[in-house]
Structure 1
Amino acid sequence: MKFGIVFFPTVGPDDRPAPQYFDECLQLVDLAESLGYDHAKIVEHYFFRYGGYSPDPVTFLAAAAGRTSRIRLGTSATIPAFQHPVKLAGKLAMLDNISHGRLDAAFGRGFLPDEFSAFGIPMDESKSRFVENVEAIKRLWSEENVVWEGQYHQFGPVTLLPRPVQQPHPPVFVTTARSAESCAEAARAGHGLQTVPNVMSTEQLQERLGIYRAEWAGSGRAAGTERIHFSYPCVVAPEGEEARRMGRFDDERNTAAISAAVAAWATTTSSAYPGYEQFANIGASRFDEKLAAQKLMIGSPDQVRGQIEQIAEWFGDDVTISLGIHSGHLSVEDAATTLRLLAEEVIPKLSVNLL
């Protein structure tokens, strides 16, 4: 089992100035590297407190690359529909070079109507654009004199420079929220899987992981070579009551941020997003319910260790966990405490297999 950090800001200028937030996140990347964590990731979103401080994850990860030497750097996830594939392939290849081959490239379809509207892209095209652009990017990374005749983009022959350090290309992950078919497609394509357990029940996630692993093996790939990443909000404090107090505060504000970002689903429908209209009615944070269901990793070191061992029992000890430690509502010192307690008092005492 591997552990890393993921940054998903849910703040705006009235909460925390962007320069301060970025400085704090980069300090935490330094700390994560020194404590032996596996990776640091950051999301891509626009306009809202829900992720809006990170419209370009590559910019942040390039800054992180310049001050680290070991930790892997991941997009979580970048949205191919919003960029030309030649441009995105080039930016990511450049990051792979700056970091000396430490890039993990996760791609997502996006799901916020206001973002698609701003880019002038119909939401009904999100899946077809995603599939086309990811394939184009992989070819640009791994082939020369690429000619592309797609539905949305045509180019070539072109040979991308710089070539990625990792050959034939950096690891590719697909981010999916709910779709079982997306899990199957990711496995058949040899992509890693990145998801958020909070958006589905334990049984639903187990079913989707079963599909992913079966399709992975059915495609002729060795069992145990799958790459599965989960993201969990995480607060660890010496006393469980204090951790829960901070975690509740953070979760309530995160819920308010996503509620504002998804409000457009009240007046939006898309064949590519069946059932997403329900997101317009997220409501209260349901902190206690989520904590009881192990959707949040919050508590004392002993409590969080128990949560991780339960997660491993449910989903396997081969999964990688990305910890959301700094949405911007708690102090950077609180986030640093979480990282240290995990590294010193939780992870070394786990009974699960540590890779």
Structure 2
Amino acid sequence: MDFGVVFFPTVGPRDRPATQYFDECLALSELAEELGFRHVKTVEHYFFPYGGYSPDPVTFLAAVAARTTRVRLGTSAAIPAFTHPVKLAGKLAMLDNLSHGRLDVAFGRAFLPDEFAAFGIPLDESRDRFVEGVTACKRLWAEEDVVFEGRFHRFGPVTLLPRPVQLPHPPVFVTSARSAESVEQAGTDGHHLQTVPNVMTRETLQERLATYRRAWSAAGHPPDGARIHFSYPCVVAEDGDEAVRKGRFDEERNTAAISTAVRSWAATTSSAYPGYEKLADLTTRTTFDDKLRAGKVLVGDPDQVRGQLERIAEWYGDDVTVSLGIHSGHLTVDDAARTLRLLADQVLPKLPVTA
């Protein structure tokens, strides 16, 4: 197992100024590299406290690149539907150069109706725009004199500058939250997988991983070449009760943020998102204690969290990479730094890991 950090803000101006949140996350990114963590990621969302402080992951990751030398940088995830592929491929190629080839690119479809409405894009087009955008970016990175004729974008011949450092292109991940079809297609296409265990049962996630690994193998991709990334909220303290208390507070604020962001699904349906009209209700059904028992959050003292990570490896394989959500903005930056230090000093050395 490898470990890194992911920043998913769930705060707004009334909670914490954006300048303060960014400064804290940049300091934590430097600490993560110092302690041996392997990656730093951030998300793309708009308007709501649920991720809204991160409308452009490339901007934040460029700042991280300037402050670090080893840690890999990940979009978690960039949304092709909201950006022209020439612009998106160029921004990402530039970041790959600024970081000297440390970029991992995860693409996602997005799922919030209000975001699609703001960009003037129908929800029903999300899958087709996703596929077209990823295809166009990969061609722009790998080829010259690209002529592209898609449903939504037509351009060329163009040769992208700068060329990416990593050839033929940076590693490509697909972010999938609920779709078995998307997971299978990712394996077939040779894309790496990024997902959030919090949104499905352990059994369902195990089925998704089996589907992905079968599709990867059946398509003839290199054995053991697939990379799988999970994201977990994480709070570690010397006192397990304190960690649980703070973890509960943080997770309840995160749940409140997503509940507000998905509220419009109660009056929305889309053929591209079957069942999502129930999402507004589903986000409030599971409590923090339910998630802790089900292994969907990493919270406790060092020994407790080590046991939780051992269980994750047993359930899903010890080849997975764990992205730790250490700073949504509701706890202090000192809490987040303590979590990283305890993980590095007392948890990870006792696991069969490379971080």
TM-score computed with the length of structure 2 as normaliser:
0.99
Q: How far is 1:99 from its partner?
A: 0.3
Secondary structure of 1:230's counterpart equals: strand
- Contact 1:252 1:285 (8 Å CA) reproduced: no
Residue-by-residue CA offset, 1:91-143 (whole Å, 9 max, x unaligned): 00000000000000000000000000000000000000000010000000000
Deviation, structure 1 residue 283: 2.0
Instruction: Return closer, same or farther for 1:284/1:211 CA change in 2, 3 Å cut-off.
Output: closer
CA distance in 2, matches of 1:353, 1:100: 25
Q: Are 2:183 and 2:193, in contact at CA under 8 Å, matched by a contact in 1? A: yes
| Structure 1 match to 2:53 | 53
1:233 corresponds in structure 2 to 233
2:101 is the counterpart of 1:101: yes
Q: What residue number does 1:27 align with?
A: 27
Report the equivalent of 2:42. 42
Identity percentage of aligned residues: 72
Matched, 1:88 2:88: yes
Deviations 1:23-48 (A, max 9, x none): 00000000000001000000000000
Shift of 1:292: 0.1
Distance in structure 2 (CA, Å) of the matches to 1:244 and 1:333: 16
CA distance in 1, matches of 2:354, 2:15: 37
How far is the alpha carbon of 1:223 from its aligned partner?
Answer: 2.5
Is there any run of 5+ residues in structure 2 with no aligned partner, and where?
Answer: none
Change in CA separation of 1:256 and 1:285 when aligned onto 2, cut-off 3 Å? farther
How far residue 225 of structure 1 moved from its aligned partner, in angstroms, is: 1.3
Deviations 1:46-92, CA, capped at 9 Å, x for gaps: 00000000000000000000010000000000100000000000000
Q: Distance in 1 between matches of 2:202 and 2:323?
A: 18
- Taking the aligned partners of 2:242 and 2:146, their CA distance within structure 1 comes to 56
Contact 1:265 1:277 in 2 (8 A): yes
Give the superposition deviation at 1:306.
0.2
Aligned length: 354
| Residues 1-355 of structure 1 aligned to structure 2 (within 5 Å) | 1-281=1-281, 282-283=283-284, 286-350=287-351, 352-354=352-354
Q: Do the aligned residues in 1 keep the contact of 2:175 with 2:194 (CA within 8 Å)?
A: yes
Q: Which amino acid aligns with 2:17?
A: P
Displacement of 1:302 after TM fit?
A: 0.1
Q: Provide, for residues 296-323 of structure 1, a one-character-per-residue CA deviation record: whole Å limited to 9, x for no partner.
A: 0000000000000000000000000000
Tell me how far apart the structure 1 counterparts of residues 220 and 284 of structure 2 sit (CA, whole Å). Answer: 44
Residue 186 of structure 1 aligns to a residue whose secondary structure is helix
Q: Give the CA deviation at 1:222.
A: 2.8
Aligned residue type for 2:325 = G
Give per-residue Cα distances to partners, 1:264-316, cap 9 Å, x unaligned: 00111000000001111122650000000000000000000000000000000
Letter in 1 for 2:248: R
- AA matched with 2:338: T
Name the SS of the counterpart of 1:40 in structure 2. strand
Judge conservation of contact 2:2–2:353 (CA < 8 Å) in 1.
Answer: no
Is the 8 Å Cα contact of residues 255 and 285 (structure 1) preserved in structure 2? no
CA distance in 2, matches of 1:284, 1:341: 31
Please state how far the C-alpha of 1:224 moved relative to its aligned partner. 1.5
Aligned partners of 2:354, 2:34: CA distance in 1, in Å?
18
Query: SS at 1:44's partner residue?
Result: coil
Aligned equivalents of 1:170, 1:310: Cα separation in 2: 31
Given that 1:255 and 1:284 are in contact with CA atoms closer than 8 Å, whether structure 2 keeps it comes out as: no
Report the alpha carbon displacement of residue 354 of structure 1 after superposing the two structures with TM: 3.7
| Cα offset, 1:221, TM superposition | 1.9
In terms of mean alpha carbon deviation, does 142-151 or 283-292 score higher?
283-292
Deviation of 1:353 (Å): 5.0
Q: 1:188 corresponds to which letter in structure 2? A: T
Give me the TM-score of the superposition, normalised by structure 1.
0.99
Q: How many Å separate the matches in 2 of 1:263 and 1:2?
A: 35
Secondary structure at the aligned position of 1:6 is classed as: strand
Partners of 2:170 and 2:161 lie apart in 1 by: 15
Letter in 1 for 2:241: E
Q: What code does the residue aligned with 1:80 have?
A: P
C-alpha separation between the residues in 2 aligned to 1:265 and 1:146?
38
Cα offsets for 1:167-220 (capped at 9, x unmatched): 000000000001111111001111000000000000000000001111111111
Aligned-partner residue type, residue 164 of structure 2: P
